[in-house]
Amino acid sequence: MRLWNRSALVVKPAQPFLEWLHRADPTSHELTLSDLAREPKIYLIPECETSDDVADALEELCEEIFTNQLAGWYTVEESWPEDCSYEVFCQWFDYTHHTMLVDLSEERLRAEDY
SS (H, E, C) 72-112: HHCCCHHHCCCCCCHHHHHHHEEEEEECCCEECCCCCCCCC
* 55: confidence class by pLDDT, cuts 50, 70, 90: very high
Collapsing DSSP to helix, strand or coil, 2 comes out as strand
* 108: confidence class by pLDDT, cuts 50, 70, 90: confident
For range 50-77, the mean pLDDT: 96
For range 62-66, the mean pLDDT: 96
* CA dihedral over 94, 29, 39, 47, signed as positive or negative: negative
Residue 114 above 80 pLDDT? no
Mean pLDDT of the chain: 94
Q: What pLDDT, on a 0 to 100 scale, did the predictor assign at position 9?
A: 96
Convert the pLDDT of each residue in 11-46 to its tens digit: 999 999 999 999 999 999 999 999 999 999 999 999
Q: What pLDDT, on a 0 to 100 scale, did the predictor assign at position 80?
A: 97
69 vs 12: CA distance, rounded Å: 9
% of the chain beyond a pLDDT of 70: 100
Residue 87 above 80 pLDDT? yes
Q: What pLDDT, on a 0 to 100 scale, did the predictor assign at position 78?
A: 96
92 vs 65: CA distance, rounded Å: 12
